[in-house]
Amino acid sequence: MAYPDELLVEGEQVVMHKHPHWKMVVVPVLVLLLVVAVGTFLAAVVRAQTWAPWAWLALAVLAMALVIRFTVVPVVRWRTTHFVVTTRRVLVREGVLSRRGIDIPMRRINSVQFRHTIFERILGCGTLVIESASDEPLEFDDVPGVQRVHAMLYQELADTQA
């Protein structure tokens, strides 16, 4: 999914657009599977009871609430988080109902670093640290292909300064 061109300034082009690494949705998917398994088991247990329709309704409501809170919300949050590098700036947009964003102009970036643990290296993700004119460096967790993003961002910095 490309980043919307109408949000860019004139002459600006998207160099890279990523969502956080897929590892962020592993736990929500496991929660979904667990809720379905436990819900199915409990539905089978109360099947023979005289109050089964009410128990099934209560189980369905509880299961839906758990799935929405612990699966749907995190997956939508993951999908609506954008990490974008353009020819002029780095943009991060997060949020569903209320949006939050940060823009870092290329000319204000002082240094770019990355770090990743052994587990993150296996998965191909890591943390990107951008030091700009602000007080503290900005850290972006779970960036997929963090080494490639680092190299590409460094190249864009060199192109901007040239």
- pLDDT above 60 (res 124): yes
- pLDDT above 70 (res 2): no
User: Tens digit of pLDDT for each residue in 127-160?
Assistant: 999 998 777 888 999 999 999 999 999 888 887 7
Residue 42 burial (CB count, 10 A) = 16
User: Tens digit of pLDDT for each residue in 55-103?
Assistant: 889 999 999 999 999 999 999 999 999 999 998 999 999 988 888 998 8
pTM summary value: 0.81
List the structure tokens of 25.
């949705």
**Band of residue 162 on the pLDDT scale cut at 50, 70, 90:** low
The side-by-side arrangement of strands in the sheet containing 109-115 is 109-115, 125-132, 138-144
pLDDT at 114: 94
pLDDT at 95: 87
Angle at 6 between CA 99 and CA 98, to 5 degrees: 10
How far does the chain reach from its first CA to its final CA, in angstroms?
31
CATH topology of domain 14-20+81-161: PH-domain like (2.30.29)
Domain boundaries, the chain: 14-20+81-161, 25-77
8 A C-beta contact, residue 74 and residue 22 = no
User: Tens digit of pLDDT for each residue in 9-64?
Assistant: 888 888 899 999 999 999 999 999 999 999 999 988 888 777 778 888 999 999 99
pLDDT at 48: 74
- pLDDT above 80 (res 4): no
DSSP annotation string for 123-161? HTEEEEEEEESSSS-EEEEEEETHHHHHHHHHHHHHHHH
